[in-house]
Structure 1
Amino acid sequence: MAEILVLYYSRFGATATMAEQIAHGVESVEGASARLRTVPPVSTVCEATADDIPATGPPYAETADLAECDGLALGSPTRFGNMAAPLKYFLDSTSDLWLSGTLAGRPAAVFTSTASPHGGQETTLLTMMVPLLHHGMYLVGLPYTESALRETSGGGTPYGASHYAGNHSDRPVDEHERRLCRVLGARLADAAVTLARGRTA
């Protein structure tokens, strides 16, 4: 069984909804399962800490979750065209995995949500790919053979799934965006299953 880690940070819930849809896509592939994990917020006050277990939603990620995964879907809201600080903070703690090459040769995908349609979706996705490339991961995107990518009036890019949340972050993830999340999850899972078969052959 190939296990896909769906790791994300969400502030207003849209990225969490996308993560759930990606997990559905993962689990639509025979031989694949999804592990949902999030990261705690960070604070400029060094004494501030989060509880070990979040009040709602999936558990917080540990580097062991990354080490144990066969593939990774990484999601974040956009912050000035880049991933949010909590997710970057977590990735900055993965030097031991980089030194050992633990994630090298595993597939990965990225997803994001923005408050405006031109709010940096593509730059966020591209910059989220950079640490994954440093880890030696293979990147999976969305092909234009997927009709929802051509039909969407909200989010959707060839670099990964995206969502337009609106100025007040209250626009729900629409059906095209949900479809693209599920397709991305399925493509990622399919890649992980295929690569896992190759390693055991």
Structure 2
Amino acid sequence: MSVQSKTLAIVYHSPYGHTAKIAQYIAKGAEKIGVAVHVMSIEHIEWDLLDQADGIVWGSPTYMGSVTGPFKMFMDSTSKRWMSRKWQGKLAAGFANSGGLSGDKLSVLQQINLFSMQHGMMWVGLPLLSTGQAETDLNRLASHLGLMTQSNNAPIELTPPQGDLDTAVWFGEYLALMLNRIH
């Protein structure tokens, strides 16, 4: 009897590439644990993959203290799946990026969390204690509801900083371990 690999979908909006970069690093972490990962932009949603995934991670930049307009439109487009409870019982997690150190990323994570809860999903936060505040430290922004990263309004070749990227890998590993534990 073979054990089927768990699947994790990572869905994001990334107008400038920073959030897409974080999605890729989360995927690296999950893949290290042996989870099959499907990374997709909201502009290219593969609905069947989302419906079949064991878990879904949502990511958005922070625009004016909220998810981006297109990400909100994507969220609204899931109403038929909400009504049919298509994603009920799936693992859910979130990540948010902003140019500023705070950037009101918490409000984005809260919005994504509520969206997931309305779909009946099981939320998994980031249980990693901060190792400091330098750009090389893990969870330097001390978030626990989900992953927070900072792009510092710089090109994606330079940001987010290494500590944020390493935290994204850690988060992906943790989510994969939780998938294996829950499902």
Query: Normalising by structure 2, what TM-score?
Result: 0.87
For 1:137 and 1:169, locate their aligned partners in 2 and report how far apart those are by CA, in whole Å.
34
Q: Which residue of 2 aligns with 1:4?
A: 8
Aligned partner (choices 145, 148, 151) of residue 165 of structure 1: 151
Gaps of 5+ in 2: none
Q: Is the 8 A contact 1:82 1:128 kept in 2?
A: no
Q: Which residue of 1 aligns with 2:40?
A: 37
Q: Secondary structure at the match of 2:131?
A: helix
Question: Aligned runs of 1:1-201 on 2, under 5 Å?
Answer: 1-30=5-34, 32-40=35-43, 60-145=44-129, 149-153=130-134, 156=141, 157-168=143-154, 171-196=158-183
For 2:39 and 2:97, locate their aligned partners in 1 and report how far apart those are by CA, in whole Å.
17
Could you tell me how far 1:194 is from its partner in structure 2?
2.0
Q: Computing the radius of gyration over CA atoms, which structure comes out larger, 1 or 2? A: 1
Give the count of matched residue pairs. 173
Could you tell me how far 1:79 is from its partner in structure 2?
1.0
Query: Normalising by structure 1, what TM-score?
Result: 0.79
For 1:181 and 1:152, locate their aligned partners in 2 and report how far apart those are by CA, in whole Å.
16
Which 4+ runs in 1 deviate beyond 6 A?
none
Could you tell me how far 1:168 is from its partner in structure 2?
4.8
For 1:169 and 1:82, locate their aligned partners in 2 and report how far apart those are by CA, in whole Å.
22
Could you tell me how far 1:169 is from its partner in structure 2?
5.7
Gaps of 5+ in 1: 41-59, 197-201
Please tell me the residue identity of whatever aligns with 1:189: A
Q: Is the 8 A contact 2:150 2:161 kept in 1?
A: no
Once the two structures are superposed, residues 33-89 of structure 1 have per-residue CA deviations (whole angstroms, 9 ceiling, x without a partner) of 11010023xxxxxxxxxxxxxxxxxxx113323211110111110011111111111
Larger deviation, residues 83-92 vs 71-80: 83-92
